Structure 1
Amino acid sequence: MFEGNLTLTVGDFRMDSGDFRFDSDGVTALFGRSGSGKSTLLRAMAGLDRHTRGQLRFHDEVWQDGRRGLPAEQRDIGMVFQHAALLAHRTVRGNLDFAAQRAPTDRGAAINRDQIIERTGIGPLLDRAVGNLSGGERQRIAIARALIGRPRVLMMDEPLAALDWRAKAELLDLFETVIRDFGIPTVMITHAPAEVERLADRVVFMNEGRVERVETLKEALGRVDSPLFTEEGPVASLDGHVEHVDGDPHRLRFVTTPQTGTGQPVTFHLGADGSTTEHGPRRLRVRADDVALARERLDNISMQNQLPARIERIDTSAPGRRAVFLTLDDGQRLVSEVTDRAVADMGLDAGQAVIALVKSAALAR
């Protein structure tokens, strides 16, 4: 659990967070537009600026009390920045050695170094000079180095922002699996809604230097005025796993994880768009404008995904448009955006059973 109230002035910008409190397990996303104070809050939480004032507790430990702050090195935080801060005069192996030498010795060997190297895919890079690495490779080294340091918390400041789309997609896969499997509490800054929907368990929304609200991802995606919807409109994020169809690596389906004891898994057939060939636990990101509605199943159409659902509620999403929030058989939420006229012509209302027609379902990336 993180709990506090922090202030920090950097140049002409003042961050005054106000009171905040959020669970530390899983992934917490600090989200807001550029200049909202995300990086300033992260630096204050990490103890990287001696001008930080206020209160901060991590579980039962006091990290900040007025002017007095626990030194950053005593907070045992693994930091990953937008531009990987690697030691230029050392090889990749030397960077990992440096992290291992500074790691706490009283925390056992819960994270095995060889396992980290294997999972991050950096084995072939160990003897390379840092200056000869691509941006994606540098970030892989940065995450491996942070993990080898045996941190209690991982903090990442827009680690994907400087990468091209291919490296970003690969690193998203890495973050999702490594963070989940190693179970390290993570606080991550991003301004990309797709990254929040792919990785986060909860969202801290920031604006003009203040924490405006803290919500679980489900809560954040459940309100039509969510800041996550500003760019692409309403979106659903579903938990489940990817599997190959009949052993064919180019035919994939996504099977959801039931959220209730009586829920039944829902299967999405995925388009062959090259977004992934990896099976295993993932999240599926479905945009509302990719979901159409029907009162019954339809024949002779190209849409493979026709999913029984029940209307939870209907909200106004924009002039002349409605967001129809749906509950699937597994208990998870899907959302469709339709016109006012469609709602009227179909007689849609809360509680009704409908068929959700998913035009495309690409893995969140």
Structure 2
Amino acid sequence: MPGIALRHAFGRHGFVLDAAFDVPQRGVTALFGPSGCGKSTILAAVAGLLRPQQGRVEVGGAVLLDTARGVCVAPERRRCGVVFQDARLFPHLSVETNLRYGERRAPRDTAGPGFDEVVALLGIGHLLARRPAGLSGGERQRVALGRALVARPRILLMDEPLAALDAPRRAEVLPFLARLRDVAGLPILYVTHALEEVDALADHLVLLDAGHVVAEGPVATLAARTDLSLAARRDAGVLLDCTVADVATDGLTRLDFPGGVLVTTMSPGASGTRLRLRIRARDVAVATAEPHGISTHNVLRGTLAEVTPVSGTPEVFLRVAIGPSDILARVTRDSVARLGLVPGMAVWALVKAVTFDHRLASSPPAAAQA
């Protein structure tokens, strides 16, 4: 039975939410879709801020809502930590007092991170004496996250927490969210319409459209599917889990992935750092013979596994298997005809090192986590 199943109609001819999906007990489940598809409505129902006409919500074995049985736990007893777009801190209190407010809400008989642990995790020790007005947007969001964590929630609900921040502040907060994902040990339901946040943080992805679940599953699996709406985006492509193998003096970084090695101009961290890298299909070219005398660093030998036309366009997706990993290339139908591309043939996928133009939130080397 899905962990969350909700049905609610707003008026006779209004928006209808009819969605059911699982929420793994650890890690980030991202709710992704266009504005108005029901993402925030789902969070409100889980938190108890909206009572749906029909539904069931179960988190960690605790049933918070079951309309068929007449169960509806009050919002204050659900132990949902909620972080909104705006931090909603108490402006007249210091950072420490805001955090202590959350700490007082923690049940005495529950395990979870303590005050000092949360402060260290989010890197906000130097902010404790300040008031919210003296903080940057990124700092306020980290404090809001800390206040939710010290209350020891059974689930953390995040409603587009980075949407109100500019790009530098988002880049500031993302690594803290990734660290939280790795060490908190609780389910996180994360609403966003930013694909880069999904790439950086999500373990499980729920695609929504018009109040319905279109697909759900591991984020890398859904990213590689060409039959979903994600494939229509210009940044469509696959996600590869990589490990930094070497940072060379020539300014290039070598990344190991299952099946091969990539070279990039990014600086994602020390050797052993783990990260998830998006390879955009439009940045990948293919060749039927190994190319020589070219500037492209990444020339990966693989097998053409699939040719999928893109409906309504003169383009196709090529799925290239490189060991256990897949890479997508978006090329023209003319290229398929000229090169005689058919599944099963050997091809070389070409990816320029400079196309990896953004760093994703990553995990530190295993030794550093110990």
Q: Please give the range of the TM-score, normalised by the shorter of the 2 chains.
A: 0.7 to 0.9
1:361 paired to 2:356: yes
Distance 2:21 2:166 in 1: 34
1:181 counterpart (171, 180, 183): 183
- Preserved CA contact (<8 Å) 1:239 1:282: yes
For residue 172 of structure 1, report the CA deviation from its aligned partner.
2.0
Q: Secondary structure at the match of 1:17?
A: strand
Code of the aligned partner of 1:79: V
Distance 2:250 2:122 in 1: 22
Structure 1 pair 230/124, CA: closer, same or farther in 2 (3 Å)? Answer: farther
1:73 paired to 2:76: yes
Code of the aligned partner of 1:201: D
- Preserved CA contact (<8 Å) 1:308 1:328: yes
Correspondence for 1:351: 344
Q: Secondary structure at the match of 1:163?
A: coil
For residue 203 of structure 1, report the CA deviation from its aligned partner.
1.9
For residue 72 of structure 1, report the CA deviation from its aligned partner.
2.1
Structure 1 pair 138/104, CA: closer, same or farther in 2 (3 Å)? Answer: same
Distance 2:11 2:169 in 1: 32
For residue 252 of structure 1, report the CA deviation from its aligned partner.
2.5
Alignment of 1:1-365 (within 5 A): 2-7=3-8, 9=10, 13-50=14-51, 53-66=54-67, 68-108=71-111, 110-246=112-248, 251-256=252-257, 258=258, 264=259, 266-272=260-266, 276-277=268-269, 280-318=273-311, 319-329=313-323, 331-359=324-352, 360-363=355-358, 365=360
* Structure 1 runs, 4 residues or longer, greater than 6 Å off: none
- Preserved CA contact (<8 Å) 2:199 2:278: yes
Distance 1:202 1:294 in 2: 34
Correspondence for 1:261: none
- Preserved CA contact (<8 Å) 1:198 1:285: no
For residue 92 of structure 1, report the CA deviation from its aligned partner.
0.8
- Preserved CA contact (<8 Å) 1:240 1:282: yes
Distance 1:93 1:235 in 2: 43
For residue 210 of structure 1, report the CA deviation from its aligned partner.
2.7
Structure 2 gap segments, 5+ residues each: 361-370
- Preserved CA contact (<8 Å) 1:103 1:148: yes
Further displaced range: 346-355 or 154-163: 346-355
- Preserved CA contact (<8 Å) 2:225 2:231: no
Code of the aligned partner of 1:345: R
Further displaced range: 34-43 or 222-231: 222-231
Code of the aligned partner of 1:145: R
Q: Deviations over 1:120-152 (max 9, x none)?
A: 221221111111111111111112222222222
Distance 1:118 1:10 in 2: 47
Q: Report the TM-score when normalising by structure 2.
A: 0.87
- RMSD over aligned CA atoms reads 2.5
Structure 1 pair 195/226, CA: closer, same or farther in 2 (3 Å)? Answer: farther
Structure 1 pair 278/42, CA: closer, same or farther in 2 (3 Å)? Answer: farther
Code of the aligned partner of 1:170: E
For residue 58 of structure 1, report the CA deviation from its aligned partner.
2.6
Code of the aligned partner of 2:115: R
Structure 1 pair 298/186, CA: closer, same or farther in 2 (3 Å)? Answer: same
- Preserved CA contact (<8 Å) 2:263 2:298: yes
Code of the aligned partner of 1:286: I
Q: Secondary structure at the match of 2:161?
A: coil
- Preserved CA contact (<8 Å) 2:220 2:240: no
Structure 1 pair 249/161, CA: closer, same or farther in 2 (3 Å)? Answer: farther
Code of the aligned partner of 1:296: A
Distance 1:158 1:92 in 2: 22
Q: Secondary structure at the match of 1:211?
A: strand
Q: Deviations over 1:22-72 (max 9, x none)?
A: 434321111111111110111101212246642222343321122641122
Q: Deviations over 1:58-103 (max 9, x none)?
A: 3433211226411223222221111112111211111111111211
Q: Secondary structure at the match of 1:45?
A: helix
